[in-house]
């Protein structure tokens, strides 16, 4: 999927491509376009570890957060203790 020309917001940051793919697939099953970025650097061991970010269109952010919270409540095979959900910029 190509969301390059859309206004994207970061929904969450996870530590593996597997976790990001699970979130992206769950969102897309609910009709929300999503993509993950950062997979190439997520596994590197360096002074500054990185993660894989899940991005959604700005208009879908609130609904995507609700879906993510539902996934957390029901497990979905993801270690949710390692997922960092971003706060909206005006709340940060």
> Residue 50, CB half-sphere, CA atoms under 13 Å: how many?
13
The model's pLDDT over 48-80, given as tens digits with 9 standing for 90+, comes to 556 888 999 999 999 999 998 888 777 655 565
Q: Assign domain 8-85 to a CATH class.
A: alpha beta
For the chain, give the percent of residues with pLDDT over 90: 33
The reported pTM is 0.65
Q: What is the 3-state secondary structure (H, E, C) of the chain?
A: CCCCCCCEEEEEEECCHHHHHHHHHHHHHCCCCEEEECHHHHCCCCCCCCCEEEEEEHHHHHHHHHHHHHHHHHCCCCCHHHCEECCCCCCC
Mean pLDDT of the chain: 77
Q: Which value, in Å, is the radius of gyration of the alpha carbons in the chain?
A: 13
pLDDT value at residue 27: 93
pLDDT value at residue 19: 86
């Amino acid at each position: 999927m190509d969301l390059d020309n859309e206004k994207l917001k970061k929904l969450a940051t996870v530590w593996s491509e597997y976790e990001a793919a699970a979130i992206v697939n769950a969102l897309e099953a609910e009709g929300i376009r999503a993509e993950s970025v950062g997979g190439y650097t997520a596994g590197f061991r360096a002074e500054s570890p990185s993660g894989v970010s899940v991005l959604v269109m700005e208009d879908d952010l609130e609904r995507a957060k609700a879906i993510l919270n539902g996934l957390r409540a029901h497990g979905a095979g993801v270690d949710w203790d390692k997922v960092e959900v971003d706060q909206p910029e005006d709340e940060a």
